[in-house]
Amino acid sequence: LSIAAFNDRALVIKLLLKHYDKIDINIQDMNGNSALHLAIIYSNVDIVELLVNTFSTIDINVQDNYGKTALMYASKNYNMSMLLIDKYPHVNVHIQNKNGNNAMMKAINSNSINVVKLLLERFPDIDINIQNNAGETPL
């Protein structure tokens, strides 16, 4: 499934989904990436939609080997961020990666102003004073 997500192979994924009960959507590769991570990293919006609309068991807060979550990867793209937040309103926006950055910091670093606004609107308790490993805050 991860290879199909990485290579934007929607038809292959649909074929694999016929065996849905046998697929563990949360399996991670050697870098800790799940199929959802890979689809987001490679901007495969159709695959992201297919995965989140098919699997109710996606662990939206799973981190890769660098501590990055799906939302952190999606924070560069408003539509993907909105899709994840709408589908998973319980997503943990406070998780920090190995550098201490969270989804808000990633959105700011990517100059994704609409994602920053979205995070502030949907998660009013988001900690804007949190520091990363370099002592930087979102402000």
Domains belonging to the chain, first-starting first, are 2-122 (1.25.40.20)
The C-alpha atoms of residue 74 and residue 104 are separated, in whole angstroms, by 11
Tokens of 34: 């799940």
Mean per-residue pLDDT of the chain: 89
Give the CA angle between residues 78, 51, 121 to the nearest 5°.
30
What's the pLDDT score for residue 106? Answer: 96
What's the pLDDT score for residue 82? Answer: 93
Distance in angstroms between the alpha carbons of the first and the last residue of the chain: 39
Length of the chain: 139
The C-alpha atoms of residue 103 and residue 119 are separated, in whole angstroms, by 8
What's the pLDDT score for residue 65? Answer: 98
If phi > 0 it is left, if psi is from -120 to 50 it is alpha, else beta; for residue 43 that is left
What's the pLDDT score for residue 4? Answer: 61
For residue 15, pLDDT beyond 90: no
Q: How confident is the model at residue 38 (pLDDT cuts 50, 70, 90)?
A: very high
For residue 24, pLDDT beyond 60: yes
Q: pLDDT for 40-82, tens place per residue?
A: 998 888 889 988 998 888 999 999 999 999 999 999 999 999 9
What's the pLDDT score for residue 55? Answer: 83
Whole-angstrom Cα Rg for the chain: 15
For residue 123, pLDDT beyond 90: yes
What's the pLDDT score for residue 37? Answer: 96
